[in-house]
Amino acid sequence: MKKIIIIFSLTVMLITSLLVAEQTEKESLMKLKITGFNEGTAIEKAGAKISDILLTYDGKPVHTLKQLAECKEAVKTDEVEVTFLRGQAVIPIKIPKGQIGVYLQELIPDHKMDDNAVVIDGIGKLGWGIGMENSFLGALTLIEEKFGQKTSYEDLVGLSGYGFRLHFFDGFCPSSPDATCGKNVGEDILKKLGYDFDVYHLQSDEFIEKDIEMRSEEEMRKIILKSIDKGFPVIAIDLIEVPEWGLITGYQKDGKELFCRTYFDKTDGYEIARKFPWIIFVIKDHKKANISPLYAESFEIANELYNTEKYDEYFSGIKAIEEWIIDLKDEKSYKEADKKVFDEMKLANWWIYYSLMEARSITKEYLLNNIEKFKKDKDLVTELAEIYNDEAELLYKHFQEIPSPHVPNPDLIWDQENREKQIQMLNEFLELEKEANEILKKI
């Protein structure tokens, strides 16, 4: 019996060591690529560039975000040296310890494609920190680059009305900034750009309750493969990690593996979806549309968004800010929430804030860059752009005070004191929004 136990123990140790070795080998093949910078970050000023590969932090090799976090935690000095690979050159840079201030993408070697894989070539990349933070409009930007008029992400944010929009789900929900939730500006702009499409939903209890027509996974898979065979990528949600939008760009193994572009890719080439989507937009045809009238129409959408209190379960416009403040004041809900619910609320608060900050910043640029196309009073448009600039600056100024689930900071706690500071800031933001609303009524 003792001999059996020893053999079993040795077998477990061998399997464990093999798994550890396999994991170590996988990590050694990974790399961290810069995809973007936080505004005014020290590392960008020191010379780092987008697409640089992070090699070392404080003299230690880093291949994964986990390794980087461990290295940062171990630093004892106020300044550290990091090295980047740019082409064949190794670039050393000295920066303050702590947050680096960059968006980093974990990359692994590209997936091997079967000889009979069906792929739509030439679909660009998605990702955080590259200036396309709304995933549906980001996916649509790639569609436009390939099949449409190359309408920029900035213009899609403005033309759709998304840049003027603020939605808030009572009790907090990270779906609030989704362009297809509440007022579905995502679907609306897809139509206006000349795309003929169908929307399909996977069978689920949620869709049964909402009386939405559904399809089985087998049916949806056939629909996806048919679209790829015709040459159109499929806009799909929740392909990797969390429910954000991406594109299905191909398939292999009879559709059991779907190639894709998402905001969570770990390859330079097409990723392989890890989940099956539960909503898809399938493009059937595209005809060039005259988008010139859409610039003036975007102000009509903005007026509606500001002055409609609710779309489905989402508060909108001025009312959304007021409800956001009410929820931040509701200390009873925070005390009663378990850890999971509390963390979801914190995530939603951060994501709504971050999305709003990006939307207002981009909309300012949209207004100034298209001032001739609006055929509206230029002084009023400029005045509106200035208000959005003030809003964006206000949000940026306090952004580091909003606890993030992605960047843990033991010194930043989402407690009553922190929420009261956010309430004070949102009250300032509300006054700016009221000014913006009055100008929109005049345009």
Q: For residue 28, what pLDDT is reported?
A: 56
* Residue 397 in domain: yes
Question: What does the alpha-carbon distance between residue 358 and residue 132 come to, in Å, rounded to a whole number?
Answer: 9
What are 184-243's pLDDT values in tens digits?
999 999 999 999 999 999 998 888 777 788 899 999 999 999 999 999 999 999 999 999
Q: For residue 14, what pLDDT is reported?
A: 39
* Residue 406 in domain: yes
* Residue 179 in domain: no
Q: For residue 2, what pLDDT is reported?
A: 44
- Quote the Cα angle for 25-29-31, to 5°: 135
* Residue 384 in domain: yes
- Residue 399: pLDDT over 50: yes
Of the chain, the percentage scoring pLDDT greater than 70 comes to 93
Domain boundary among 252, 286, 320: 286
* Residue 387 in domain: yes
Does one domain contain both 255 and 309? Answer: no
Does one domain contain both 100 and 122? Answer: no
Strands (E) across 144-187 are located at 167-169
Rank 12-26, 57-71, 379-393 by mean pLDDT and report only the highest: 379-393
Q: At residue 364, what is the residue type?
A: K
Prediction pTM value: 0.85
Sequential DSSP letters for 342-383: HHHHHHHHHHHHHHHHHHHHHHHHHHHHTHHHH-S-HHHHHH
What are 79-88's pLDDT values in tens digits?
999 999 998 8
Does one domain contain both 143 and 238? Answer: yes
- Residue 6: pLDDT over 80: no
Does one domain contain both 317 and 425? Answer: yes
Average pLDDT over residues 339-344: 94
* Residue 332 in domain: yes
Domain boundary among 258, 286, 314: 286
Which of 96-100, 186-190, 418-422 has the weakest average pLDDT? Answer: 96-100
Confidence of residue 129 (pLDDT cuts 50, 70, 90): confident
* Residue 173 in domain: no
What residue numbers bound the domain in which 29 lies? 21-107
Does one domain contain both 378 and 253? Answer: no
Average pLDDT over residues 249-264: 97
Question: What does the alpha-carbon distance between residue 130 and residue 34 come to, in Å, rounded to a whole number?
Answer: 10
Question: What does the alpha-carbon distance between residue 263 and residue 425 come to, in Å, rounded to a whole number?
Answer: 30
Tokens of 182: 């509440």
Does one domain contain both 330 and 384? Answer: yes
Does one domain contain both 136 and 55? Answer: no
Does one domain contain both 385 and 253? Answer: no
* Residue 87 in domain: yes
Percentages (nearest 5) of helix, strand, coil residues in the chain: 50, 20, 35
For the chain, how many structural domains are there in total?
Answer: 3
Closest by Cα among 79, 58, 67 to 24: 67
Domain boundary among 259, 286, 313: 286
CB atoms within 10 A of CB 336: 10
Does one domain contain both 256 and 394? Answer: no
Does one domain contain both 31 and 89? Answer: yes
CATH assignment at residue 37: 2.30.42.10
- Per the prediction, the chain carries an average pLDDT of 91
Does one domain contain both 140 and 222? Answer: yes
Q: Which residue has the tokens 């059991």?
A: 256
Tokens of 175: 């779906």
Does one domain contain both 245 and 273? Answer: yes
